[in-house]
Amino acid sequence: MKKILLLVLSFILICFAIPIIFTTRRIDKVNAQTTENKKVSGLSKSTYDYKKYNTIKLYHKSTKKVENIKLDEYLYGVVSAEMPASFEKEALKAQAVVARTYTLYKIVNNNKKHDKADICDDPGCCQAWISKNDRVSKWDKENREEYWKKIVEAVNDTQGKIVTYNGKPINAFFHANSGGATEAPVNVWGGTGLPYLQTVTTAGEDAYSQYNSKVSITKKEFESKIKEEHSDFKINYKEKDCIKIEEYTEGNRVKTIKIGNLKLSGVEIRSIFNLRSANFKVSLDEKNIKFEVLGYGHGVGMSQTGADSLAKSGKNYEDIIHHYYKNVKIENM
């Protein structure tokens, strides 16, 4: 009788235990998935606290000093330096969000280019920045008040806004003029690229013809500059196609070019001859090599003239950002 009673009690306990075990496992699984979703889709307040980054350390290249400066005040100087204040306000707002994002990306990813500083004022390294006095001298007297108001409003109206991908600030590259199509980063710096930076086209950039340029260089100087990088360089100008563009990128920039006995990238040619972009045509006559260059900058990310063109067509800053950065979110820090 005791054995039968024990068996009955055991059976009852098992019946209650099994649902509890499975329910607990399911709850654990759901909690784990919820945690993972938060990591992917949302910003962690402990990591991305606006107050934490409200003041940044700015390294001034000219004085070699580090200044503690409020983030928004810093952005007034960045937007003033990086984009013409005459551009449409929505373009300036897009620039403010992109510059804020780029700054946060540098800090969050523990950028250590500058000892004891978060970022510098050298555009060749980080972002351009100018002081208030420099801004005043840069603008015409009749436009100073209007321009300053536009800059301040562009930053303040987008306060705390950043561009994210999978919950993290993106590497928000930007440039002056794309020549009509932006470039994938893999074609500029190599690597595997970034999913949110793809080639996109923008109508209206041909209206900013001041960003295009022409460069003429003597054959002797042309050879000398290439030999500084490639000592084995040889060229016979009498040969047909001694200089020939062989391949273009998706963004219509020179990918590979044959010059004499060498095959070089358009990016390297841009660097060697200090061209404004890798979107160029090349020709030669009896004495000179001539480059016709379209656009200004590396071509990756937001085109500033493209942003202005989109703003003139009625797009707001969010439209502009989503045009240049794919599958991203605009979030509050």
pLDDT digits (tens, 9 = 90+) for 262-308: 999 999 999 999 999 999 999 999 999 999 999 999 999 999 999 99
CA–CA distance, 327 with 329 (Å, rounded to integer): 7
152, two tokens = 């301040």
Residue 155 near residue 92 (C-beta atoms within 8 A): no
Which alpha helices (H) appear in 167-312, and where do they start and end?
186-189, 219-229, 266-272, 304-312
265 or 109, which is more confident: 265
Answer yes or no: is pLDDT of 225 > 90.
yes
Q: How many residues does the chain have?
A: 333
Q: How far is CA 6 from CA 11, 15, 17, 20, in A?
A: 9, 14, 16, 21
Mean pLDDT of all residues in the chain? 86
* Residue 236, pLDDT score: 97
| φ, ψ (nearest 5 deg) of residue 156 | -70, -35
SS3 135: helix
Answer yes or no: is pLDDT of 240 > 70.
yes
Least confident window among 36-45, 204-213, 309-318 = 36-45
pLDDT band at 52 (very low <50, low <70, confident <90, very high): confident
190 or 132, which is more confident: 190
Answer yes or no: is pLDDT of 128 > 70.
yes
Place of tokens 């030669």: 284
SS3 282: strand
Strands 161-165 and 329-332: antiparallel
User: CB count, 10 Å around CB of 124?
Assistant: 7
Q: Which of 51, 44, 43, 87 is nearest to 72 (CA)?
A: 51
pLDDT band at 203 (very low <50, low <70, confident <90, very high): very high
Least confident window among 47-51, 126-130, 199-203 = 47-51
Q: How far is CA 317 from CA 10, 35, 179, 228, 267, in A?
A: 67, 32, 20, 44, 30
* Residue 51, pLDDT score: 67
Answer yes or no: is pLDDT of 44 > 70.
no
**Helix and strand totals (H; E) in the chain:** 10, 14
